[in-house]
Amino acid sequence: MKPITSRQLAARVLTEIGEGARANTALATALSKDGRALSVRDRAFVTELVQGTTRMRRAVDHAMGPYIQRKLDEDVRSALRMGVHQLLHLGTPPHAAVNDTVDVAPRRARGLVNAVLRKVAQSDAVWPSGAVQFSYPDWIWNLFVGAWGEEGRESLIAMNTPERPEPRADGYVQGQASQWVVEVIDAAGDNGGQFIDLCAAPGGKTTALGARWSPVFANEVDPARARVLREVVQKYRPATQVVVSDGSESPFRNDCADAVLVDAPCSGLGALGRRSDARWQISEQAIKRLVGIQATLLDEAFRLLRPGGVLTYSVCTVTPEETVQVPLEFDVRHENAEIIPVTQPPWREHHQGGLVLPHDHGTDGMAVFQWRRRQ
Ligand SMILES: C[S@@+](CC[C@H](N)C(=O)[O-])C[C@H]1O[C@@H](n2cnc3c(N)ncnc32)[C@H](O)[C@@H]1O
């Protein structure tokens, strides 16, 4: 049997994603099985084809839409999308994008794939809106542009070429914005002390915090994610204790912690570059549910803090609900929580906390808020 090519593998993964698989999971599985024999360069190409085509799906579908008159089978649609992505966004020479895609398309549809790709290659796409051109659902586009105007647009464009984080000094690969959150926490904790990370998996922040704080308790609700957390902690910070519990009803005592972090489950709209299918999955309705969870986790975190202790709330998103409403309502509920403003660069002032937009430094977008429990 002939070994699989990068385009064949990418087309197969895209079909799986079209049928409902998660992009990162389907890609990782394919690369670790059939993609094992590919060179490093070819594996990177498979990754670009899969992630890029998934991310740019709306733009791609718009460009090929006028030339498709019938409903397509998923495998045909995936091959076409992959070809159009190469034509529109990768600068692949048209003859290569067309011929190499036709080669991997299902035999029964090669004529169609050839004809559609040639038409796309010969025409200039006309974009009805920025949301279509840069491939976002309208509601996400409107949210960013409505809040930040031109900067919001730049942020969205920046998330189409996501950060490729360098490994930390200890080898763990952690996004830069996530490391900045750790710096904010370390700066507020004078002498270190007992730390509780209520939402810890996969363990990026927890393992970094272990450099200064001790003991560290890393809590996670999801048993599968807690298994990953355990492995990460074992490798990078073995003294950290992993706890599996719902952080809104945690087993920790009142007033026991010098510092608590709620790196909360969130809509992830600042980290849309990291998961190429995230923008197609998150809904506006989900934000309402997340806001409730974030509020409950913050209240629980505050119960655990000793007087003088520091609470940090961070989210890799930028929605007003999660980054304005949640901290403001927390203030109203907790008179003995004193705001610690986050003003130092790279953070821009955002209400009472700090915010990094994705285009500011080419990182994830992130928001961070801090309080000290009054003595
Ligand atoms: C943004 S991630 C945390 C990332 C982590 N702090 C890091 O830096 O690697 C949020 C985590 O919270 C977990 N989570 C969600 N709801 C939770 C709850 N009620 N209690 C504890 N953890 C929860 C999720 O499973 C997820 O692993």
Tell me the per-residue pLDDT of 77-105, one tens digit each, with 9 for 90 and over. 999 999 999 999 999 999 999 999 999 99
Answer yes or no: are the C-beta atoms of 124 and 325 closer than 8 Å. no
What top-level class would CATH report for the domain 176-373? alpha beta
Q: How confident is the model at residue 341 (pLDDT cuts 50, 70, 90)?
A: very high
CA of 350 to the centre of ligand 1 (A): 23
Whether the domain at 6-127 and the domain at 176-373 fall into the same CATH topology: no
What predicted TM-score, i.e. pTM, was given to this entire model?
0.94
pLDDT of residue 191: 79
| Residue 371: closest CA among 352, 355, 356, 351 | 352
Residue type for position 253: R
pLDDT of residue 3: 84
Q: How confident is the model at residue 190 (pLDDT cuts 50, 70, 90)?
A: confident
If you average pLDDT over residues 146-172, what whole number do you get? Answer: 95
pLDDT of residue 11: 97
Domain boundaries, the chain: 6-127, 176-373
Ligand 1 interacting residues, C-beta cut-off 6 A? 178, 198-205, 219-222, 225, 246-248, 263, 265, 293
CA of 57 to the centre of ligand 1 (A): 29
* Burial (0-12, 13-18, 19+ Cβ within 10 Å), 8: middle
The closest residue, in CA terms, to atom 10 on ligand 1 is: 265
Question: Where do the DSSP E strands lie in 254-304?
Answer: 257-263
Question: Could you say which architecture CATH assigns to the domain 6-127?
Answer: Orthogonal Bundle (1.10)
- Write the DSSP string, 49-61: HHHHHHHTHHHHH
Q: How confident is the model at residue 192 (pLDDT cuts 50, 70, 90)?
A: confident
Residues in the chain: 375
Q: How confident is the model at residue 312 (pLDDT cuts 50, 70, 90)?
A: very high
pLDDT of residue 74: 97
